[in-house]
A and B are shown apart, each in its own frame.
Chain A
Amino acid sequence: MTELSKQDALVHYAAQIGDNGLIIGHRMAEWCFRAPSIEMEMALMNCALDMIGQSRELYSYAAEAEGAGKTEDDFAYRRDEKDFRNNLLTEVPNGDWGDTIVRLFFMSAYNKLFYAALAGSSDSQLAAIGAKSLKEVTYHLRFSSEWLIRLGDGTEESHERAQKSVDSLWTYTGELFTMTDAENRLLKDGISVDVAALKADWNEIIEQVLKQATLTVPADGWAQTGGKAEGIHTEYFGYIIADMQYMQRRYPGCEW
Chain B
Amino acid sequence: MTEQAKEQEWPLWEVFIRSKAGLDHKHCGSVHASDSEMAMEAARDVYTRRSEGISIWVVPSNAITASKPEDKESLFEPADDKIYRHPTFYDIPKGAGKM
Residue numbers of A with Cβ under 8 A of B are: 37-40, 42-43, 46, 139, 142-143, 146-147, 150
Contacts and interface: CB of A to CB of B under 8 A. Distances in A.
B3 to A, nearest CB: 19
A147 B41 CA distance: 10
Nearest to B42: A39
Contact of A150 (B31, B32, B38, B45): B38
Contact of B41 (A37, A38, A43): A43
Contact of B37 (A39, A43, A146): A146
B41 A143 contact: yes
B33 interface: yes
B75 interface: no
A37 B32 contact: yes
A38 B49 CA distance: 14
B38 A42 contact: no
Interface of B: 10, 31-35, 37-38, 41-42, 44-46, 49
9 closest Cβ pairs, A-B complex: A39-B42, A43-B45, A42-B45, A39-B31, A42-B46, A46-B45, A143-B41, A39-B46, A146-B37
Contacts of A147: 38
A47 to B, nearest CB: 9
A46 to B, nearest CB: 5
Interface of A is mostly: helix
Nearest to B43: A39
B73 to A, nearest CB: 37
A146 B35 CA distance: 11
Contacts of B33: 39
B41 to A, nearest CB: 6
A139 B48 CA distance: 13
Given A39-B31, A39-B42, A42-B46, 7 more contacts: A40-B42, A42-B45, A42-B49, A46-B45, A143-B45, A146-B38, A150-B35
Contacts of A43: 41-42, 45
A248 B32 CA distance: 39
9 contacts: A39-B31, A39-B42, A39-B45, A40-B42, A42-B46, A43-B41, A46-B49, A146-B37, A150-B35
A4 to B, nearest CB: 40
Contacts of B42: 39-40, 43
B74 to A, nearest CB: 38
A156 to B, nearest CB: 15
B26 to A, nearest CB: 20
